[in-house]
Each structure stands twice: as C-alpha cells, then as structure tokens.
Structure 1
Amino acid sequence: MDNMVHIFSREDENRGCTKETCDPSKSVYGYEPNLGATIFFFILFTVSGAVYLWQGIKTKTQFFTGAMILGAISEVLGYVAKFILHNDPFSDLGFKMSVVLLTFAPAFYSAGIYYTLKHIWSVSELFPLLDLDSHCYSITFGSDFSRLRPAWYTYIFISCDIFSILLQAAGGALASAANDMTLLDIGDNVMIAGLALQVVTLVVFGLFAADYAIAAYRNRTRLNPSTEKLRNSPRFKFFLVALWVAFLCILLRSAYLVAELAGGWVHNEILRNQILFICLDSLPIGLAAVVMNVWHPGYCFPRSEQEAVIAEEKMMRNSSGSDEEARIQ
C-alpha cells in the first residue's frame, strides 16, 4: 500500500488529508497562506492591471498593455487560489490554480519588457500605423549599435516565452495525469525545462541589452541628435533604471521557481517555505509590475514627441538628399 501511495503521490499530493482531519503542515505547501499578504498582493495586482488598462487606452501601447494585463490577470487569479488555500490548505483546485497561474505570470511581464526594448531603437516599429515611408527612423539611441535588428528581439525572445509557456503547460498536464512514476518524472522534467528556458531567455536578453547599452555609451557622440532632449531627460533615465529593475526582479523570481519545482512535490523545503515565496516570488513580481506602471513606456515615448522626431528626421533626410543632388549636378 505504501508503494501505491508513492506511485500516485502527484495525483493525491495531500495523501487523503482534509482541513478537518489534518494540520496545514501536512499539505503540499506545508502552510496556510497568510491572509494579510494574500490580500495585499491581490489588491496590488488588481490595481496594477487596472492602471495598465487605463494607461494603454491613453497611450495606445497595445502590445505592451496586453502583455502586462495578462500578467496582472494571472497574478490576480493566482492569489484567488491563495485565498482558496487559506480557507482549505488541502484544496486541489487551489493548489493547481496557484501552480499554473503564478508560474505563467512572469512570462507575460517579460514579454512586455522584450517588446519595450526595441522601442528605444525604432520609432517605425513603436508606431507602425504612422506614415513613415520605407525608412526606419531611429529613436533615442538608434539601432546601429545592436547586434540584432530591433524586430528580432520581439520574434526571438517572445517566441521563446511562448514556447516556455507551452512546455510548462504540457509538463503540468503530463504530471497531473500520471499513473506511474515514469510519466510523473517526465511531466515534472518538462515543466522544469520550460521554466529553465524562461530563465535562459531572460539571461540572454539581458546580455544583449547590456551589450547594446555599452556600445551606445561608447558611441555617445554619434547618437541621434533629434532625440538628445529626450535622452537627457530625467524621465527617460528613470525609465531605463525601472526597466532594469523590472527585468532583474523577473529573473530572480524565475530562477527561484526553477529551484522550487526542481525539488519535487513531496518534502520540498523550498516549496514549503512561505517567507521564501513572499520574498522571492510575490515581492519581485509586484515590484516589477509597479515600476513599469510608474515609468510606463507610453509616457517616456509620448506620441507627440515621436511624431516631432519623425518630422525632424524626414527634414534632415530630405535636406541631405537635396544637397547630394546639387553636388551631382
């Protein structure tokens, strides 16, 4: 009988316990989620998501807004699961909701950050509906210093994000449906592979971003003169700091989750430590969400300034073309 319990441990993580028959320490998480912390982060992500919606409507930053709202919704529903677990630490629904939703959430936030980085380089991609002709008008620093074309950051890193989510979903489905240890191990390993891919994607993205930042600094005398005022403004400098803070918070949280799930579902001290969860999960993602609310890219790259830069660069290009034609004649 003990062997059967072990084999089916993933299907019945609570070993038959209920809140009426067992202490919360016997549950998968090993604790009853703190009600105060749960309420605080539920409110934080609800307000943050609502603010993102309002900011998106006002600034028309559709992709960034969509990604951040999906992240906020995932977090809010994840903390609904924490409410369920507070009332019943042995709730199977609460456990599965919290694992799935709080696992996916950082991928949506990181997608918003991936997309934001290319805004620094290409105004034609930031506002594709503007009439920009075939030229790619540089914004802020320019794309010449990047090892990748701005659009490729979206294609590569967001594609990796989506693939990571699919791996996590497939792993979770396999593990939850497992009826033997082989399938159970495969499911857990697939889920961990998805999370590891998320961490690797973040690290590679950070290296490319740092490389670009160093190159732009070394070539600071050659930067786009049309955006000098924006580059030197406090709001833009704070925006860059906020972007790195959000990125590092998501990276920290994702690395923690890999370590958490790598320990398995039974007797996992990381999984069962509520203080670690709050400090390395709730707080980093909460901070990432709030700093990008405060230093929203739509405010740091307002449409009016983008259009002014475009007009100035068109004028400079036309002037250069006229001078060239005059020299040829």
Structure 2
Amino acid sequence: MSSPNLFKVCRHVSPDCPVESSIYGYYPSLGGNAFFLAWFAAMLVVNTLLGIKFKRWAYMTAVSLGCISEVIGYAGRVILHKNPYSKAGFDMQIVCLVIAPAFFAAGIYLMLKHLTLFFGPSDSPINPRLYTWIFISCDVVSLILQGAGGGISATADSYATQRSGNNVALAGIVFQVFTLLVFAGMAGLYCYRRQQRLKGHSKHEEDADAPETTRNVQVYIFSLIFAYLCILTRCSYRIAEMAGGWRNPIMLSETYFMVCDGAMIALSTATMIFCHPGLYFA
C-alpha cells in the first residue's frame, strides 16, 4: 500500500499528487455526502421547532448540536470531493463526524430519567435524577477525548502525531461504547426489577400500574431502542476503522462509511426527532 502524501506539499490532485495518495485515497461521493448534509440540516430545523413547541430544551440542545456537527462534517466531505487534499475539508470532517454521535447519545441518556419517573422510580437501582449526571458526565469525557483526538489528527505534521490523535479519538469512542453498554445494563436492570414486582399483581392491578402497556409508550420505547442500536453500530464501526490505523481497508472504503456511519446516524436522528419525547410525555 502506498504511503499517503498528506504531509508533503500537496494542495490539489496532480500527476505528482494522485488521489490514491490522499488521506482517504478516493474522491468522496458528492451525491451521498450532499444528501447527508441536507438530511441533517432538515433534521436540525424539525428538531428545533419540536423542541420549542414542547419546551424540551435539554433534549433539543443535545440533538441540535449533533445535527450541527453532522452538517459541518459532511460539508467537509463535500469539500474533499472537490479537492481530496483540502486541509479545511479534512479538519471539518475528522473532528465533527467523530464527535457528533456523542450528542445524540446524550439525548438518549436524558430520557432514562424521564422514563423511570414516568413508570415509577421505586424499581430504579439508583435515584433516577442521577442518570442524567452520570451518563452525561461520561458522555462529556468521551466527547473531550474524541474532540481532542480529532483535533490532534487535524493539526498533525507527522505520521507519529497523527497516529497519536487517532489513538486518543479511539479511546474516546471505546469509552463511549462502554458508557452505552452500562446504560443498557441499567435500563435492563430497571425493566427486570419492574417485571419481577408486577408478577405478584393481579391482571387488573398490573394494567393500572403499567402505563408501558399503552401503544404510544410502547412505540416510544422501541424507537429509543432502535436509535440506541444505530448509535452503538456506528461506534462499533468506528472502533474497527480506527483500530486498523490510517488507510486500512475499512477506512479506505466509502461504502462502509456511508452505511455504518452516515446511514446509522441518519436513522437514529430521524427516529429521535419523529418519535420526539414531547409527543409522548407531558
């Protein structure tokens, strides 16, 4: 595999600087990246309007920051389509597309507190109000690591420095996956404890004590699980991509990126917005 010319004087594709020697080794798809740019811009508008309508300020802020990061990141990839050696385009996408899912994960974390309070806090292993503090704090740590790693990679002037940035960002994503798994464990424990308690109730008592049996709340819970799985899939892909180092086969495949990152986060975002918590909870 040829070594990329990222750190020699290459400003545009030329006979001395072929596209194959650029950081990703290809021209990013104009159509695909422009689609995701427009998609997240539209989601940003819809999310803002719903957030204002339902006064879900924290949720609106988290999801909006994710959408803004995605828009900037895909704008960077559009720039890279025009010039695969564009430093501005590389910087925009390496930082923003790496950190964006952390904001969407924060939106999901915010809802565990509300769900436990809605269904009844007695089955929660900890005070429901601590969920937000614990998981958002962990999300901030992963966000800092990913942002720092992306920043180091974006400003690197040597391969060693770039590898260091990659490793820092990788640590942030691994920590994010760990946080997602702990979150799933806490949610699962709450559901288990609740189901165990409801086993001792009569059918009438169970129906009265289980608002989750209503169709709307069931739809919301399944939408949250789907969004969670999409984010987890994306993070798992990024771990595999970054663990292989720069210009490994996964990183050099735009198909993998479009499906495992772009599509996963687009589906997660659409689910979180069109199944907005304001539609289900007062």
What is the rounded CA distance, in whole Å, between the counterparts of 1:106 and 1:87 in structure 2? Answer: 26
**In 1, distance between residues paired with 2:250 and 2:222?**
30
Q: Secondary structure at the match of 1:144?
A: helix
Deviation at 1:98, TM superposition (A): 0.7
1:13 touches 1:27 (CA, 8 Å); kept in 2? no
**Residue correspondence of structure 1 range 314-329 to structure 2 within 5 A:** none
Query: What is residue 72 of structure 2 aligned with on the other side?
Result: 77
1:186–1:20 CA distance, 2 compared to 1 (3 A): closer
Q: Distance in 2 between matches of 1:50 and 1:193?
A: 32
1:206 corresponds to 2:184? yes
TM-score (norm 1): 0.77
Paired letter, 1:172: G
Q: Does the 8 A contact of 1:17 with 1:27 survive in 2? A: no
Superposition CA RMSD, Å: 2.4
Checking the alignment, whether the CA contact within 8 Å between 2:226 and 2:268 is kept in structure 1 is: yes
Whichever residue aligns with residue 53 of structure 1, its letter is T
3-state SS, counterpart of residue 217 of structure 1: helix
SS at match of 2:123: coil
3-state secondary structure, aligned to 1:38:
helix
Query: How do 1:182-201 residues align onto structure 2 when only pairs under 5 Å count?
Result: 183-201=161-179
CA distance in 1, matches of 2:208, 2:24: 55
Distance in 2 of aligned mates of 1:14 and 1:241: 50
Aligned to 1:315: none
Q: Write the distance in 1 (CA, Å) between the matches of 2:267 and 2:236.
A: 16
Structure 2 distance, partners of 1:82, 1:181, is 21
**Letter of the structure 1 residue corresponding to residue 146 of structure 2:** Q
Cα deviation digits, residues 187-236 of structure 1 (max 9, x gap): 332221111111111111111112212222232366897775x4332111
Report what 2:213 is aligned to: 232
1:32 aligns with 2:12: no
Residue number in structure 2 paired with 1:281: 261
Cα 1:75–1:14 change in 2 (3 A) is farther
Amino acid across the alignment from 1:155: W
Distance change >3 Å, CA 169–CA 225, structure 1 → 2: same
Does the 8 Å contact 2:223/2:275 carry over to 1? yes
Aligned equivalents of 1:260 and 1:92: distance in 2?
A: 21
Deviation sequence 1:14-35 (CA, Å, 0-9, x none):
7736223344222111211112
Contact in 2 for aligned 1:252/1:280 (Cα 8 Å): yes
Separation (CA, whole Å) in 2 of partners of 1:80 and 1:166: 22
Shift of the 72–264 alpha-carbon distance from structure 1 to 2, 3 Å rule, reads same
Matches of 1:181 and 1:38 in 2, distance apart? Answer: 27
Work out which of the residue numbers 56, 62, 67 in structure 1 matches 2:62: 67
Q: How many pairs align? A: 276
Q: Provide closer, same or farther for how the CA distance between residues 88 and 155 of structure 1 changes in structure 2, counting only shifts above 3 A.
A: same
User: Retained in 2: the 8 A contact 1:199–1:254?
Assistant: yes
1:296 has 2:276 as partner: yes
SS of the residue 1:276 aligns to? helix
- 1:133-152 superposed matches below 5 A: 139=118, 141-152=119-130
Distance in 1 of aligned mates of 2:14 and 2:164: 34
75-84 or 164-173, which deviates more: 164-173
d(CA) in 2 for partners of 1:263, 1:31: 18
Q: Counterparts of 1:14 and 1:158 in 2: how far apart (Å)?
A: 40
Partner letter of residue 182 of structure 2? V
Offset at residue 180 of structure 1 (A): 6.0
Q: 1:250 corresponds to which residue?
A: 231
Question: In 2, distance between residues paired with 1:179 and 1:14?
Answer: 9
Q: 1:98 to 1:181 in 2, by over 3 A?
A: closer
The one-letter code matched in structure 1 to 2:169 is M
Change (3 A) 1:39 1:185: closer
Q: 1:47-75 CA deviation, whole Å, 9 max, x = no partner?
A: 11111100001101110110000001111
- Give a deviation string over 1:241-289, Cα, whole Å, max 9, x none: 0000000100110111122122222x31111101100110001100000
Match among 108, 130, 150 for residue 172 of structure 1: 150
Identity among equivalent pairs (%): 37
Name structure 2 gaps, 5 residues minimum. none
Structure number, greater radius of gyration: 1
